[in-house]
Amino acid sequence: MMGYYIIAGAIFLVSSYVSNKLKSKFEFYSKVSLKNGLSGREIAEKMLADHGISDVEVISTPGQLTDHYNPRNKTVNLSEVVYNARNASAAAVSAHEVGHAVQHAKAYSWLKMRSAIVPAVGISSKLSNIVIMAGLVLSVTSSFGSSILLIGIVLFAVTTAFTFITLPVEYDASNRALAWLKHKNMVTKDEYKGSEDALKWAARTYLVAALGSLATLLYFVNIYLNRR
Cα–Cα separations (whole angstroms), residue 210 to 15, 99, 203, 222: 11, 21, 11, 18
How many Å apart are CA 11 and CA 146, to the nearest integer? 26
H helical segments located in 85-142: 88-105, 109-138
Q: Contact 172/108 with Cβ under 8 angstroms?
A: yes
**Edge-first strand listing for the sheet containing 75-79:** 57-61, 75-79, 68-70
Q: Select which of 42, 45, 97, 196 is catalytic.
A: 97
Alpha-carbon span 93 to 57, nearest angstrom: 16
Q: How far is CA 188 from CA 37, 61, 176, 181, in A?
A: 12, 28, 17, 9
User: Is residue 196 among the annotated active site residues?
Assistant: no
Where in the sequence numbering do the catalytic residues fall?
97
